[in-house]
């Protein structure tokens, strides 16, 4: 994006402006176009001022070596056609003046400005006392009232003059880490801009490991000056603004409250600005955690969303912002190897076999890949050479895995050969069990219930099928003689079915036997497989054990985590649908916005499950699969499946799903780790799959 950088400290200077050059270089290295307009001299503590009657005159600064005061200032810009050299604009105005001039009078050849960054300021701009006078905040506010997104950025250092704190103000490594963090945070805020936010104020502490420490949402602490003046009386003399600002910084936290002497009225004197930092630090200590001053004191980066009126934005912000550094943007199709601008022509076979999805894929391909860089085919036989770059998006059964495995650098498909290890229940159960056995510390060992898998063709052979399912047999023994509500309950799932078909609850071997006998009794007389398939579709829940011979049984979790759906009503069972992008061999990207899918009826214990009109158990209070939530359900809202999007902020699961706070924190980080280990387990289970770190 095109970023305009302004500040209130002026051009690069180890004495008064040591950070702006580092940030600009870091933003440029991240691929951004950066334009710079700065005050020609120190303008701290000036707020969002404009100077009435002043004619603002520019000069032109050519940056030198990072952290070396060897940049040069010129009265005229480089002439057109001169060799490429970076050149910034300096103006004899305020930070707000820099914003106006940068937005409307320079850089038109670079395209529209997407974001204004004011800073990094030499020192913190936390709490209301500092913020209300800050030229750094003033520049961001000016951009905000010009209807541009703006971020005020300040680096809080811990001076050697303060006992117990190392001098971090001029450490090149710490400054580089702060600039790296700031660049990633700027990108994150821009990509996730709050609906009610005009600007953000960010304070980054200059401490070792700043780029690995927490980034927190905070509010600006409302504080006040204490008793006493922020001006010192001096003799009639003039001082250099940069020298005075340096002197003020060096005194942060060291001043003592002095009693004022009685003086004669109207004695001629001068007054020098000497802000009472001790008042600010005292207010932070008294306020406790949660505010921007506290976060900086604890060496955390603080982010506060604001309106352009010194009021907090209404958007909800709390907790930590997880940037997951080093930050890597999940690749879209435009970032895959076939889509690079300099990539050679490739061939594409799109045969998804779905009238709804097929045109969407073609449209996405057209919008993301330049026309003329690929040729659509109807068959892989049309590929001019086996080594030609080739993309196929289609149904799993139609994918040319042999070709893809033979040409891993030129062939790309939309599914892995290991796909069924993830989507078929009995395969997934076996894969996870093997992985946990070899990796007992895996998150899967606590997040996946152990399953018993078995094969069965006919109900009469159930006893033989359960010989190896010793966990199930032991549970049946423990359940003998117990009331239903005291038993261990299990859930039966056919390994190859989908849409919730064939799922049943049971607690005894007799109940399990009756499930299979029920299916056999409902089996059609005809042995014709097509007719049986038609009957399965008509009944919606018909299972032929002779066709679906693989089953798993899992301990049923009672009581599960229950939530009240957004539509209201009694507590209901739900599951979270997580969207995962898998790339290459093998990188996993988990999409943070997730979907909560609710059962169509309030939860009831398995032993209290009612009987439906057709004489079978009504499992609608247990199953959250939306395919089962049809208009025939008695739920008032069953005509529309109960869905709600989980909109995570700060890596938390937040409303509209009303999770308790501790569960918001613990649940979301586990989901990416679950996905990672599931893919990893299926990948390692298949020896033909290429290895990767």
How many CA atoms does the CB half-sphere of 286 hold within 13 Å? 10
Q: Are 93 and 54 in contact (CB under 8 A)?
A: yes
CA angle (167, 140, 300) in 5-degree steps: 40
Look at residues 55, 53, 61 and name the one whose alpha carbon lies nearest to residue 7: 61
Give the pLDDT score at 596: 78
Nearest to 199 by CA among 100, 306, 313: 306
The pair of structure tokens assigned to 269 is 């004197």
Distances (CA, A) of 111 to 3, 35, 115, 190: 10, 11, 12, 18
Could you report how far apart the first and last alpha carbons of the chain are, in Å?
32
DSSP class of 170: T
pLDDT at 240: 64
Residue ranges in the chain modelled with pLDDT below 50: 160-161, 253-257, 326-343, 526, 529-540, 546, 630-656, 665, 688-689, 691-693
DSSP string, 7-49: -SS-S-BTTTB-SHHHHHHHHHHTT-EEEEEEESS--TT-TT-
pLDDT at 63 (0 to 100): 94
* Chain segment 11-30, per-residue pLDDT in tens: 999 889 999 999 999 999 99
pTM over 0.75: no
For the chain, give every domain's residue range.
2-223+291-321, 231-257+266-286, 333-415, 450-556, 561-693
Instruction: List, in order, residues 6 or more apart from 441 with CB less than 8 Å away.
Output: none
Give the model confidence (pLDDT) of 515-543 as tens digits: 888 877 766 554 554 444 444 444 445 55
pLDDT at position 1: 92
How far is the C-alpha of 250 from the C-alpha of 268, rounded, in Å? 28
> d(Cα 287, Cα 222) in Å, to the nearest integer?
9
- How many Å apart are CA 294 and CA 196, to the nearest integer? 24
Q: Where are the beta strands (DSSP E) in 20-166?
A: 33-39, 58-62, 72-74, 88-91, 115-122, 149-156
CATH architecture of 2-223+291-321: 3-Layer(aba) Sandwich (3.40)
């Amino acid at each position: 994006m095109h970023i305009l950088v302004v500040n209130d400290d002026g051009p690069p200077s180890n004495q008064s402006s040591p950070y702006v050059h580092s940030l600009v270089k870091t933003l440029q290295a991240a691929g951004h176009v950066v334009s710079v307009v700065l005050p020609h001299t120190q303008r701290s503590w000036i707020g969002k001022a404009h100077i009435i009657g002043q004619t603002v005159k520019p000069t032109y600064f050519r940056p030198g070596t990072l952290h070396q005061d060897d940049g040069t200032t010129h009265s005229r810009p480089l002439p057109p056609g001169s060799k490429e050299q970076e050149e910034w604009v300096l103006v004899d105005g305020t930070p707000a003046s820099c914003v106006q001039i940068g937005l409307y009078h320079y850089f038109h050849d670079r395209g529209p400005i997407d974001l204004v960054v004011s800073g990094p300021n030499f020192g913190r701009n936390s709490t209301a006392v500092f913020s209300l006078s800050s030229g750094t905040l003033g520049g961001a506010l000016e951009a905000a009232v010009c209807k541009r997104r703006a971020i005020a950025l300040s680096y809080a250092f811990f001076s050697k003059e303060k006992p117990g704190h190392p001098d971090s103000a001029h450490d090149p490594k710490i400054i580089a880490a702060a600039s790296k963090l700031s660049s990633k945070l700027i990108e994150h805020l821009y990509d996730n801009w709050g609906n009610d936010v005009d600007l953000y104020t960010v304070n980054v502490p200059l401490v070792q490991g700043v780029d690995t420490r927490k980034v927190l949402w905070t509010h600006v602490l409302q504080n006040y000056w204490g008793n006493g003046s922020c001006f010192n009386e001096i003799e009639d003399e003039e001082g250099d603004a940069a020298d005075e600002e340096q002197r003020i910084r060096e005194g942060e936290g060291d001043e003592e409250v002095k009693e004022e002497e009685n003086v004669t009225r109207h004695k001629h004197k001068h007054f020098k600005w000497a802000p009472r930092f001790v008042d600010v630090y005292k207010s932070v200590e008294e306020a406790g955690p949660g505010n921007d001053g506290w976060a900086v004191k604890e060496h955390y980066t603080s982010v506060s969303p604001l309106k352009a009126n010194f009021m907090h934005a209404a958007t909800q912000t709390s907790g930590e912002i997880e940037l997951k550094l080093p930050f890597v943007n999940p690749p879209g199709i435009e970032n895959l190897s076939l889509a690079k601008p300099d990539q050679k022509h490739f061939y594409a076979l799109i045969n998804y076999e779905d009238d709804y999805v097929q045109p969407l894929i073609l449209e996405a391909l057209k919008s993301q890949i330049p026309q003329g860089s690929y040729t659509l085919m109807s068959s892989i036989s049309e590929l001019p050479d086996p080594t030609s770059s080739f993309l196929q998006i289609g149904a799993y059964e139609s994918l040319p895995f042999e070709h893809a495995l033979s040409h891993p650098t030129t062939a790309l498909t939309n599914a892995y050969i290991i796909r069924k290890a993830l989507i078929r229940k009995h395969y997934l159960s076996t894969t996870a069990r093997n992985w946990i056995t070899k990796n007992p510390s895996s998150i899967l060992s606590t997040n996946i219930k152990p399953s018993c898998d078995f094969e069965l063709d006919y109900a009469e052979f159930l006893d033989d099928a359960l010989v190896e399912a010793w966990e199930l047999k032991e549970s049946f023994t423990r359940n003998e003689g117990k009331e239903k509500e005291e038993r261990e309950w299990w859930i039966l799932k056919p390994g190859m079915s989908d849409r919730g078909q064939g799922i049943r609850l049971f607690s005894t071997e007799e109940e399990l036997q009756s499930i299979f006998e029920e299916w056999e009794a409902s089996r059609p007389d005809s042995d014709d497989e097509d007719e049986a398939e038609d009957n399965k579709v008509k009944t919606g829940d018909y299972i032929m054990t002779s066709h679906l011979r693989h089953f798993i049984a899992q301990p049923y979790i009672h009581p599960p985590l229950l939530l009240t759906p957004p539509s209201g009503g009694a507590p209901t069972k739900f599951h979270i649908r997580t969207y995962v992008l898998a790339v290459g061999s093998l990188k996993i990207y988990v999409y943070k916005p997730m979907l909560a899918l609710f059962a169509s009826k309030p939860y009831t214990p398995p032993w209290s499950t009612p009987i439906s009109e057709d004489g079978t158990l009504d499992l609608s209070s247990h199953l959250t699969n939306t395919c089962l939530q049809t208009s025939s359900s008695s739920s008032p809202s069953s005509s529309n499946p109960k869905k709600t999007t989980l909109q995570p902020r700060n890596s938390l699961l937040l409303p509209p799903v009303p999770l308790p706070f501790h569960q918001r924190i613990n649940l979301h980080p586990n989901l990416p780790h679950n996905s990672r280990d599931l893919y990893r387990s299926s990948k390692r289970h298949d020896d033909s799959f290429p290895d990767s770190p």
